[in-house]
Amino acid sequence: MVLFRAAMLQVLLLLILFCPCGYAQPGSTLLKWGKEGNSFLKVSSGAIVQVDINGQETAVISADLLRPMGEGRSLAVRDFAFSEDGKKVLIYTNAKRVWRYDTRGDYWVLDRTTRQLVRLGRERAASTLQFAKFSPDGSKVAYSSEHNIYIEDLATGQNKCVTSTNNTRKLINGTFDWAYEEELEDRDGFRWSPDGQHIAYWQIDANQVKDYLMLNTTDSTYPFVIPVEYPVAGEAPSPYKIGVIDVASGTSKWMDIPGDPHNTYLPRMEWADNSGELILQQLTRKQNESKILISDIVSGATREIYDEKDSAYIECKGFWQDGLIAGWDWIAKGAAFLWVTEKDGWRHVYRVGRDGKKETLITKGNYDVIQVSLVDEKNNWLYFIASPDNATQKYLFRTRLDGKGGLEKLTPASQSGVHQYDISPTGAYALHTYSNASTPEKQELVSLPAHATLSKAKTPSEEDAAGEPSRKVEFFKIKTIDGVEMDGWMVKPVPFDSTKKYPVVFYVYGEPAAQTVTDEYGTGSNPLYNGDLAREGYIYMSVENRGTPAPKGRAWRKSIYRHIGRINIRDQAMAAMEILKWPFVDSSRVAVWGWSGGGSSTLNLMFQYPQIYKTGISVAAVGNQLSYDNLYQERYMGLPQENREDFESGSPITYAKNLQGNLLYIHGTGDDNVHYQNAERLLNALIAANKLFQFMAYPNRSHGIYEGEGTRQHLNTLYTDYLRRNCPGGGK
């Protein structure tokens, strides 16, 4: 559920466009800084071009060179990578989706000297290769295909399978099963050693996980099942192994990792800044203890160097490079590495010695590090995103890498909002992307640390802005009867008459993987509504409850542990009670809607606080927490074997009998994430309680409900009609 939990609002605004981990989605900025740090490469008009800091473009690989022999057009470049010597370029194209992201496709290699363009894995079916990457010397490419790893020699064109699973669907080499991909953001599962002599990789044995059988009733006369290896809460995870392939012989050596692989997770593995050791992160089943291990690849012996415990859970993703884990940051010639932990109450970066015994706090203060942007060891700087004073915003800061400096804000004070930076390797320049609730996204090249503008680039959102003149977002804070202060935003009706009372529509998410109250462009919009809520006389708003990933400290985020469906729901309802005291809010016309985790929150609000919420629209909701995957649900709720009552008391199905208002419930029957089973079980509970409601099933649609002709138009029409009929707009 991570995609829709962690990026629900933005994904909806982009009409459910999917991008893979490490690969840019069509139309997005695919940018790769050069080693020298004063220019970057991007794809433009089918070619790969170099852009200097003044914005001047020079073709590096023309579109003609990317036209296969006998083909009428060039490859559509989804991503690219140059060999270390720059003589070859690897092209990723013809991308296809694997569950959430487009991580399988075709790979081609262009030899810039001979100008030959060759497809890799030619004997394999189209769009079945994953995560191809050059060996350090550029002579070979390794890739995963249909759960095995292959090495292809570029001089001879010969390839060899270096893992063997007899092509079984559920013994997975070099990539991951459903739960690892969805909830740990693990997709690329193998690594070349720095000397190119070995490849380290994950093997996931999903044979030991039960299949959830989805039923496809639309694509053939006879229905057929689609099995998904899906461990629900209470079920053990897929066991793992870490293997190291000797490239010369093609044989694997398995690492001797302590702990039970049936009751632990291994979310991270990298080479330990040399070619003889691996560094690993291991989580306990309950994800409340994290161990860092180092394995010797010759003997397989593994030793523990660092151990961290938390009374709730340990979040192991989302801190590095664009919010995704992208390697281990080693410093001091491999004598130390950087590590993120919340153990002092805030999310901070520490410098940890290679033996794990000595550690130094780098980012000091009562604030959270949201994202690490650059480690500039040469100049002793750590660049990162934080927002000490306003949890709805993001800014660029830096501090000394040795932990001896103070906090320095680089984003200009005049530019409030949400900022993102793609910083050059030297830290001298950055592609700066920013917006706020009233300013469309803008992009510019800046020099650092002065943050001086070098060149600007027009972005599509600037062109879209003219279509939304009535959306004026106001931010506010609300304190509940429980003493909880929450951030919120509101869009008032246009025109607005303070002497009248207006209906209010709450947008809710409420779970640990997403914020809804952020000061960025798109906040305040409703992607499912066919019309203008403000001009039709609605107050549209959202408030941020405890337990969301706002940068407000560990206590804020982890207060939800074992309380999903309770503490977040009470916070939302108590905030609504305060808002209903406002003189211009009509307490008889209160609506709430959300998707995925927000759909679950919508149901819980409708069922637990029917006196407040009169109309609800719930999309793709988890009706019963015991039916969702173990990695997500156990991280935030514990093990059902130990505290089943928490799962039950936080699940909407427990309270379905309390429904009083108008409910529209929507689910796709082909949802591999929040299974359609959730809908049918909740329907049974509502039926048993003789509750009337409206239900819409979208045949064979996934969690995003976007596949098929007319789907999104129909969903929007359904949503809009239901809201207008059951919670009519306008002041009274």
Determine the pLDDT at residue 18.
25
pLDDT in tens, 523-551: 999 999 999 999 999 999 999 999 999 99
Which amino acid is present at 646? D
Which amino acid is present at 601? S
| Count of alpha carbons within 13 angstroms of residue 13, beta-carbon side | 14
Residue 407 has pLDDT above 70, yes or no: yes
Cα distance between residue 142 and residue 197, in whole Å: 12
Are 66 and 123 within one domain? yes
Which among 135, 161, 187 is the end of a domain?
161
Are 256 and 390 within one domain? no
Tokens linked to 562: 């074992």
Count the neighbouring beta carbons within 10 Å of the beta carbon of residue 115: 9
Q: Is residue 732 part of a domain?
A: no
Residue 470's pLDDT band (boundaries 50, 70, 90)?
Answer: low
Are 587 and 684 within one domain? yes
Cα distance between residue 209 and residue 686, in whole Å: 31
Which among 108, 135, 161 is the end of a domain?
161
pLDDT in tens, 321-354: 343 344 689 999 999 999 999 999 999 999 999 9
Cα-to-chain-centroid distance, residue 347 = 18
Lowest mean pLDDT: which of 29-33, 371-375, 586-590, 651-655? 29-33
**Is 492:532 a contact under the CB 8 Å cutoff?**
no
Determine the pLDDT at residue 327.
60
Residue 16 has pLDDT above 90, yes or no: no
Residue 45 has pLDDT above 70, yes or no: yes
Are 171 and 251 within one domain? yes
Q: Is residue 680 part of a domain?
A: yes
Q: How large a percentage of the chain has pLDDT more than 90?
A: 88
Q: Is residue 86 part of a domain?
A: yes
Integer CA distances (angstroms), 229 to 171, 204, 261, 450, 704, in order: 11, 11, 17, 51, 20
Residue 462 has pLDDT above 90, yes or no: no
Cα-to-chain-centroid distance, residue 134 = 26
Helices (H) and strands (E) in the chain, counts: 10, 43
> Which strands make up the sheet holding 277-284, listed edge to edge?
264-271, 277-284, 289-296, 302-309
Give the residue-averaged pLDDT of 254-260.
97
Q: Is residue 424 part of a domain?
A: yes
Integer CA distances (angstroms), 647 to 149, 179, 413, 441, 644, in order: 39, 19, 44, 40, 5
Which among 161, 184, 211 is the end of a domain?
161
Cα distance between residue 112 and residue 598, in whole Å: 50
pLDDT in tens, 56-98: 899 999 999 999 998 889 999 999 999 999 999 999 999 999 9
Cα distance between residue 346 and residue 323, in whole Å: 17
Which amino acid is present at 379? N
Which amino acid is present at 121? G
Determine the pLDDT at residue 471.
75
Are 56 and 104 within one domain? yes
Residue 26 has pLDDT above 90, yes or no: no
**Is 51:57 a contact under the CB 8 Å cutoff?**
yes
Are 278 and 396 within one domain? no
| Closest by Cα among 325, 355, 358 to 340 | 325
Are 396 and 484 within one domain? no
- What one-character DSSP code corresponds to residue 510? -
| Closest by Cα among 430, 474, 476 to 453 | 430
Tokens 């409850």 belong to: 545
Cα distance between residue 544 and residue 295, in whole Å: 43
Are 333 and 298 within one domain? no
Q: Backbone phi, then psi, for 679, in 5-degree steps?
A: -65, -50
Q: Is residue 731 part of a domain?
A: no
The CATH number linked to 582 is 3.40.50.1820
pTM for the model stands at 0.94
Q: Is residue 548 part of a domain?
A: yes
Tokens linked to 557: 């985020």
Long-range CB contacts (within 8 A, 24+) of 104-109: 104/128, 104/129, 104/130, 105/78, 105/129, 105/130, 107/132, 107/141, 107/143, 108/66, 108/68, 108/75, 109/141, 109/154
Q: Which domain holds residue 490?
A: 473-726
Count the neighbouring beta carbons within 10 Å of the beta carbon of residue 208: 17
Are 536 and 602 within one domain? yes
Q: Is residue 573 part of a domain?
A: yes
Residue 25 has pLDDT above 90, yes or no: no
Residue 455's pLDDT band (boundaries 50, 70, 90)?
Answer: confident
Query: Coil, helix or strand for 416?
Result: coil
Cα distance between residue 640 and residue 634, in whole Å: 8
Give the residue-averaged pLDDT of 435-452.
94
**Is 408:386 a contact under the CB 8 Å cutoff?**
no
**Is 117:102 a contact under the CB 8 Å cutoff?**
no
Which residues have C-beta within 8 Å of that of residue 269, sequence separation ≥ 6?
191, 200, 202, 242, 278, 279, 280, 281
Determine the pLDDT at residue 385.
97
- What one-character DSSP code corresponds to residue 221? S
Determine the pLDDT at residue 405.
87
Cα distance between residue 699 and residue 215, in whole Å: 10
Residue 7 has pLDDT above 80, yes or no: no
Burial class (CB in 10 A: 0-12, 13-18, 19+), 544: buried
Summary mean pLDDT of the chain: 92
Residue 55's pLDDT band (boundaries 50, 70, 90)?
Answer: confident
SS3 per-residue string spanning 236-276: CCCCEEEEEEECCCCCEEECCCCCCCCCEEEEEEEECCCCC
Give me the DSSP letters along 642-688.
HHHHHHHHTSGGGGGGG--SEEEEEEETT-SSS-HHHHHHHHHHHHH
What total of structural domains would you count in the chain? Answer: 4
Q: Is residue 675 part of a domain?
A: yes
**Is 169:228 a contact under the CB 8 Å cutoff?**
no
Q: Is the peptide bond before 551 cis (omega within 30 degrees of 0)?
A: no
**Is 509:571 a contact under the CB 8 Å cutoff?**
no
Cα distance between residue 32 and residue 452, in whole Å: 21
Determine the pLDDT at residue 502.
98
Are 234 and 130 within one domain? no
**Is 323:344 a contact under the CB 8 Å cutoff?**
no
Residue 5's pLDDT band (boundaries 50, 70, 90)?
Answer: very low
Give me the DSSP letters along 369-398.
EEEEEEEETTTTEEEEEE-SS-TT-BEEEE
Determine the pLDDT at residue 99.
85
Residue 463's pLDDT band (boundaries 50, 70, 90)?
Answer: very low
Sign (positive/negative) of CA torsion 544, 545, 546, 549?
negative
Cα-to-chain-centroid distance, residue 528 = 21
Cα distance between residue 346 and residue 367, in whole Å: 6
Lowest mean pLDDT: which of 123-127, 458-462, 713-717? 458-462
Residue 165 has pLDDT above 80, yes or no: no
Give the residue-averaged pLDDT of 267-288.
97
Q: Backbone phi, then psi, for 591, in 5-degree steps?
A: -120, 155
Tokens linked to 668: 């796709």
Beta strands in 113-176 (DSSP E): 116-119, 129-134, 140-145, 148-153, 159-161, 171-173
Cα-to-chain-centroid distance, residue 688 = 37
Query: Coil, helix or strand for 711?
Result: helix
Are 338 and 440 within one domain? yes
Are 441 and 477 within one domain? no
The CATH number linked to 193 is 2.140.10.30
| Closest by Cα among 102, 111, 101 to 134 | 111
